[in-house]
Amino acid sequence: MLGQWQGGRYWYPGVVEHSTQDSVTIQYDDGDRATQPSRQVKAYNWHAGSRVECNWQNGGRWYSGTITRLNTDRLRINYDDGDTEATRTGSCRSQ
């Protein structure tokens, strides 16, 4: 699943732990956990070719790029500036 952390504009990957008709508890891939309204959760739709932003080397700076390879929680991204990185889904987000 993808969830909007605290209702923000970005979607982060995670696993549903519990759900009701109105809310969903997500264990996010980065280790955070949250219960949020169902409208802030959608199906996981990342694949090779998806546009995402990732936290470059987990240093706190987010850059846009395209996923070139995806295997469970690991991915390779080609950043728009020409850099590439192998990282985990927990270090990425989408809009």
Q: Given this model, what pLDDT does residue 27 score?
A: 97
- Coil vs helix vs strand at 10: coil
Look up the domain containing 61 and give its range: 51-93
Hey, which bits of the chain come out as E strands? Answer: 2-4, 11-19, 23-28, 33-37, 41-42, 51-55, 62-71, 74-79, 84-88, 92-93
Are residues 67 and 34 part of one domain? no
Global pTM? 0.92
Domain co-membership, 13 together with 38: yes
How many domains in the chain?
2
pLDDT in tens, 12-28: 999 999 999 999 999 99
pLDDT for the residue numbered 69: 98
38 and 56 both lie in a single domain = no
The answer on 36 and 63 residing in a single domain is no
Note whether 32 and 57 are same-domain residues: no
Do 62 and 33 lie in one domain? The reply is no
Residues 62 and 35 in one domain: no
Q: Which two tokens stand for residue 33?
A: 């956990």
- The per-residue pLDDT for 79 is 98
Signed CA dihedral, 51, 55, 56, 61: sign only: positive
User: What's the pLDDT band for 35 if we cut at 50, 70, 90?
Assistant: very high
CATH number of the domain that residue 62 is part of: 2.30.30.140
Residue 35 token pair? 């219960």
Q: Average pLDDT of 28-41?
A: 96
* Contact indicator for 65, 80 with CB cutoff of 8 Å: yes
Residues 55 and 33 occupy one common structural domain: no
Q: Are residues 34 and 58 in the same domain?
A: no
Residues 38-81: tens digit of each pLDDT: 999 999 999 999 999 999 999 999 999 999 999 999 999 999 99
